[in-house]
Amino acid sequence: MTDEPLLAEDSNELRRAVIDTACAMNDAGINVNKAGNVSVRCTRGSRAGLLITPTGLDYGELQPADLVFLRLADGSHTGGREPSSEWRFHLDIHRARPELIAIVHTHSPSATALACHGRGIPPFHYMVAAAGGADIRCAPYATFGTQALSDHALAALTDRKACLLAHHGVIACEASLPQALALAIEVEHLARMYLAACALGEPPRLPDDEMARVLAKFEHYGQPGPGH
Ligand SMILES: [Zn+2]
């Protein structure tokens, strides 16, 4: 992975992939109705930007033309639809983290339950490293759609590919749409396991040196997929 990956050109196929990811998020049970949103970085001619799901439309009804292309340079857009109300953090993450191409935002229930207590996910299980570090942080609360929320999210994502948002939900970012969706599902699964483990009291945590070993293995071999 390089810091400046080659970006796909805005296309019908790419737009379909964003819609498929949004629908898959709900089918996977990590989101309901229109709560979450999805974006992917791409180019349109010489302009860098991102395709993002629009606000106010059911994912099942989305057509490629409904997606909104936001210019990376100034966040401006054209076309008939308005971008998701969370376009600010999508834009800011795409600007700050060029290695992360796709972003999935959900209100998945177990992760959000933790986030409602302002709690992230500690290293209780080695797969926490799938998010890029020894823990998954929870960003402080700010009103949805605000610059403050975006600032908090970016800080919580430092050296990470996922974070929780207090009293709100989850952000998962990866090098592709399928990987971002898989990470969002992984974060929800980890949160569910953590809550279950907490039923017997706060579980012991893996030590820093073990999480460092796991992170090194993930970097070397790539992240384990299903069946690992
Ligand atoms: Zn949200």
Q: What is the pLDDT of residue 224?
A: 57
Distance 169 CA to ligand 1 centre (A): 6
Q: What is the pLDDT of residue 4?
A: 60
Question: Whose structure tokens read 């396991």?
Answer: 193
Report pLDDT digits (tens) over 24-53. 999 999 988 888 999 999 999 999 999 999
The gap from C-alpha 101 to its chain's centroid, in whole angstroms, comes to 10
Q: What is the pLDDT of residue 1?
A: 46
Asked if the model's pLDDT at residue 133 lies above 70, the reply is yes
- d(C-alpha 63, C-alpha 199), whole Å: 44
Asked if the model's pLDDT at residue 123 lies above 90, the reply is yes
Distance 171 CA to ligand 1 centre (A): 9
Distance 84 CA to ligand 1 centre (A): 9
Pair 222, 169: CB distance under 8 Å: no
3-state secondary structure of 30: coil
Instruction: Let me know if 188 is a catalytic residue.
Output: no
- d(C-alpha 110, C-alpha 117), whole Å: 11
Point out which residues pair with 29 in neighbouring strands. none
Element (H, E) at 52: strand 47-52
Distance 32 CA to ligand 1 centre (A): 11
Distances (CA, A) of 133 to 210, 215, 217: 12, 7, 12
What is the average pLDDT value for the chain, to the nearest integer?
A: 93
Both tokens of residue 170?
């989850």
Catalytic option among 4, 13, 61, 86 = 86
- d(C-alpha 227, C-alpha 20), whole Å: 23
Report pLDDT digits (tens) over 141-199. 999 999 999 999 999 999 999 999 999 999 999 999 999 999 999 999 999 999 999 99
Distance 34 CA to ligand 1 centre (A): 9
Distance 36 CA to ligand 1 centre (A): 5
